[in-house]
Every structure is written in structure tokens, then in C-alpha cells.
Amino acid sequence: MKFFFTILFLVPVQIHSQEVDSSDILFLKIQELEGELASLRSELESQAYLIEKLLNEESNQAGNKISLDNTTESKINTFRFEGINDVKSIDEVYDQAISELNDKDFEAAKQSFNYLANNFNDDEKIPLSLFWLGEILLLESNLEESEKFFQRLASDFPDHWRAPLAHKKIGDIFMMSGEPSAAKIKYQFVVQTFPENAASSLALQLLENME
């Protein structure tokens, strides 16, 4: 008889214990999700700063190139894309887009970069336009469209100096989309394929944080 009452006494305790455990697990899951959301929010808030930093990097990259003589430079500045009735050169459209980006007029910058990417042919300005379109859309949290532009840059211009960072950005988008395995594979690709590039260092640091 005592044994029977002992069992009756223990059953509700065990049930209560299971309920507490379930509540604890749910609470921890909520905390984990809140942490991930805070991390993503921080990533997006820092994107505007990164755009400014990348603009400076691009300016430095251009400054390090060998200067062209005045005749060649003049020809480039007055170049018009054949087959399009347009009064602006590639450089003029690109400079306008960069100016709009500097002014944080992202909608106008998107239109200018899109116009350039879809209507002209240039091995330097087109991949840069694709990169900036990816950056702007990432700032706007449009991950799917952002990935398309980074993918286009990486596949169509694999040797461009922005291609390594485009691959790394795709990894970031995977991470922000809740695909850590895909992100890890992309980061590993960057480290192995572009070991001397700054994007490799960023990807390596993210891989270490994922361990």
C-alpha cells in the first residue's frame, strides 16, 4: 500500500519536472533566436559604413594603377558605346552613380548602376557596377536580389579584383539566410582560392568564429 502511494506521489512530480524542462528549452531557444536577430541587425547597420570603406578602397585601387597618357585618356573619356543612342560615356555614367552612392541616394545609384550594367560593355566598370548593386541591395535587406548580382560578378568576371569579395559576400548572404553549412563551404572556397586576397582573411575569421 505504501508503495502505491509513493508512486502516486512521484508521478505529478515527474510530470511537473518534464514541463519545467520543456519551458527551459523553449526559453533557451527564444534567447538563441533573439541573439541571432541582434547579430543580423548589427550586420545590416554596419553595411552603410562598409559601403563608405569600400568606396575609399576603390579610390585607392584606381590610384595605384598605371596612369595613361593624355591621348589615351582622352579617348577613354569620350568613348561612346556603339549601338546605343546615348550621349554619356561609360565613365560619365559610372561617376554619376558613385556620386549618388556617396550622397546616400541609393535609389538613384541603383538606377545608374543598372543602366550601366545592362547597356554597356566594360571589363572594369561593369563588374564594379554589379558589386555596388549587390552592396546596396544587401543594405536594403534584399538578400535574394543582392546574391544575384554578386553571383553574376563572380561568374562573369572571375578574374576581377572584386570577385573574391563577391564570393565572400555570397557566404554572408547564406549565413544571414540561415544556411550556415552553405556559408561555410563558400568561406572555405574563398580561403582556398584567393589566399592572398583580403577577402580570404575575412572569410577565415568567420570560419574560426563558426567553430
pLDDT per position as a tens digit, 65-110: 434 334 334 433 444 444 454 546 888 899 999 999 999 999 999 9
Go through the domains of the chain in sequence order and give each one's CATH number.
46-210 (1.25.40.10)
Mean pLDDT over 19-47 rounds to 57
Q: 115: which residues sit within 8 A by CB, 6+ positions away?
A: 93
The residues, ordered by sequence, that sit 6+ positions from 101 with a Cβ below 8 Å of its Cβ are 51, 55, 109, 132, 136
pLDDT in tens, 106-147: 999 999 999 999 988 889 999 999 999 999 999 999 999 999
pLDDT at 55: 73
Task: For residue 81, count CB atoms less than 10 angstroms from its CB and return exposed for 0-12, middle for 13-18, buried for 19 or more.
Answer: middle
In this prediction the pTM is 0.67
CA 35/CA 33 separation, integer angstroms: 5
φ, ψ at 121 (rounded to 5°) = -135, 105
